[in-house]
Amino acid sequence: MPDNKLRRRLPAEWEAQSGVQLTFPHTDTDWYAVLDEVLPCFIEIAETISRFEKALIVCQNQAETRAMLRHAVADNLLFAEIASNDTWARDHGGITIEENGAPVVLDFMFNGWGLKFPADLDNRITRRLWENGLLHAGHRYPGLVLEGGAIESDGQGTLLTTAACLLSPNRNPQLSKAETEERLKNEFGLRRVLWLHHGYLAGDDTDSHIDTLARFCAPDTIAYVQCPDPGDEHFPALREMERELQAFRSSEGKPYRLVPLPWPEACFAPDGHRLPATYANFLILNGVVLAPTYGVPQDAEALHTFSNLFPAHQIIGINCRPLILQHGSLHCLTMQYPAGVIR
């Protein structure tokens, strides 16, 4: 059970933020062959974030990176020159909780999505940011392998996740499902964990991160990926995922308001393999939602869906077609920090 004496809580993404971390690509990352194609996307995301809150940029060369961000709000840019293996800040970034009302950054182990890719440098980034005084919060190592893209919080004690990821044998093989759930409840002050046992995207490297499949948009609302084409390879698994979501109940015992997201037409890499395009990989900022688009006909419908999901927010589409070349998208690149953490 959670240690109630500590009064821990994992905020929802729509709560007030102080800033968002991005880890920029460089020639020693897997982006090296398409840097010219992908850098404009990183730049657009960073510049857009800077209009609404701080953008904390982890990079190899501050002067060069600052020069790229010509249209950013300069006062909202913070830089940290820290070595990195790759760029997926959602998964190597710190996860901030409230503990007795004060922020604490949990520095989980990042092992390259179950030992698939090198991650030794990425695994040190959060510690370096904290040591450099860029994160104004407590800092703790929970001693678990966990990526931010693997969990969704409603801010009220409910966590949404996938069994395929959290129970992967290359993450925390020493823990059973029950033990994993107990650790999550203790670290995040949770009352319950909702497990999805179905759902995947072809081309995904993360073992079905929840932020590619289903997202809390409010405590009573979940947006999710729905595949309407019975001929698509994803149809059976995503139909079963939809049934699981329909069976879930909110903490008040009511069915969730479930909002299906459009299914983008298939996107393929130059070598022919299918890429994991998903509209579920959106990012909530202060008063704004950044929505991934892919240059497909369903983009307009997706933006309209987000307008209905977040009527009080401005919706800004970001062309993320280059990002899925490395099997991630907008949310995967970013990690938000609650109010007060980045100053």
What is the pLDDT, as a whole number, of residue 169? 95
Cα of 115 vs its chain's centroid, Å: 19
pLDDT band for position 80 (50/70/90)?
very high
pLDDT per residue over 253-274, tens digit each? 999 999 999 999 999 999 999 9
The domain segmentation of the chain, as residue ranges, is: 8-338
The DSSP code for 34 is G
Residue type, 248: F
Residue pair 212/90 in contact by the 8 Å Cβ criterion: no
CA distance 107 to 8: 15
Q: Residue 151 has what DSSP assignment?
A: E
CA distance linking residue 182 with residue 1, whole number of Å: 6
Q: Which of 165, 227, 320, 332 is catalytic?
A: 332
Q: Considering the entire predicted model, what is its pTM?
A: 0.96
CATH architecture of 8-338: 5-stranded Propeller (3.75)
Residues 128 and 35: their CA atoms lie apart, in Å, by: 25
Q: What is the pLDDT of residue 2?
A: 46
Q: What 8-state DSSP symbol labels residue 252?
A: T
Cα separations in angstroms, 149 against 139, 146, 335: 20, 9, 9
What mean pLDDT comes out for the span 237-244? 98
217 is catalytic: no
